[in-house]
Amino acid sequence: MGPWDPNWRPDPTGRRLEAIRAARRGALAAAVIFGTLEVVATIVALPVGSTLSGPIPLVGLMLALFSLPALALLGAGLTSAALGTPPTAASAGLAMGVGVPVAAVSSAMIGAFVLVGLGGAASGQMDGADVAGVLLRVGVTAAVRISPLIAIASVAWVLLVRRLGRPVTMSGIAGRQSRALSWLRRGRGPRRRDG
């Protein structure tokens, strides 16, 4: 639903705009934290004696660039949960810890499949499915190797999102609404003090 929808109404409280801004901050924090962690995972996962050992940081950077959209979307989607109550924020951190490897590996596999498929079809040398399979195996291995770092980064992401955004408490909203509606139930309007 957006401004083009006939049922759309402006939000005079500003909560919608604040939620959009918080989701953007959560997406940026997830992309920076976990994109950096993906470069580290690539450096850890690739064997030293392989043909890619020279440009390992470049390969890690390319894989991180492929995965940044998925990591940012995951961060944006979990931001509202991270800003909730402490149990909800803990569940958002757990979901981030589980979802980051899945999102990063899936996004890198899709990007590699498309790029190698396009380049391999032109040269007749490589198959995109083979490269995606190698990325799946290496990505899962790397995620297992750096799983403590993923857990620490997930906690850091939740703390950063909670620090950058203010959680909206439902008790404060409910209290304001009940006070605002109490005078309607009694059948009289707000009191005037004009003499």
Query: Which is nearest to 11 in space by CA: 21, 76, 80, 78?
Result: 21
Establish if 181 belongs to a structural domain: no
Q: How far separated are the first and last CA of the chain, in Å rounded?
A: 47
Domain around 102: 15-168
Which residue, chain included where needed, has tokens 């979990």? 78
Nearest to residue 65, comparing CAs of 90, 43, 32?
Answer: 32
In a domain, 191, yes or no: no
3-state secondary structure of 165: coil
User: What amino acid is encoded at 148 in this protein?
Assistant: P
Contact 138, 43 (CB under 8 A): no
Residue-wise pLDDT for 21-59, tens only, equals 899 999 999 999 998 888 888 777 766 655 555 555 666
Is the pTM for the entire model greater than 0.85?
A: no
* Structure confidence by residue, pLDDT tens digits, 145-180: 899 999 999 999 999 999 987 644 444 454 555 554
Sequence-ordered strand ranges (E) for the chain: none
Average pLDDT, the chain: 77
d(CA 64, CA 134): 16
Residue 10 in any domain: the answer is: no
Domain membership of residue 195 (yes or no) is no
Could you tell me the two tokens for 15?
A: 């909560």
Q: Which amino acid is at 30?
A: A
Classify burial at 60, counting beta carbons within 10 Å of its beta carbon; exposed 0-12, middle 13-18, buried 19 or more.
Answer: buried
Closest CA relative to residue 45, chosen from 145, 184, 189: 145
In-domain check, residue 123: yes
Do the Cβ atoms of 104 and 38 come closer than 8 Å?
A: yes
What's residue 44's pLDDT?
Answer: 77
**C-alpha count within 13 angstroms, C-beta hemisphere, residue 86:** 0
**Is residue 184 in some structural domain?**
no
Closest CA to 27 of 80, 101, 66: 80
- Residue 175 in any domain: the answer is no
Question: How many domains is the chain partitioned into structurally?
Answer: 1
More confident position, 94 or 194: 94
Is residue 144 a part of any domain in this protein? yes
List, in order, residues 6 or more apart from 21 with CB less than 8 Å away.
165
How confident is residue 88, by pLDDT bands cut at 50, 70 and 90?
Answer: very high
* Dihedral (Cα; 112, 118, 120, 123), 10-degree rounding: -150
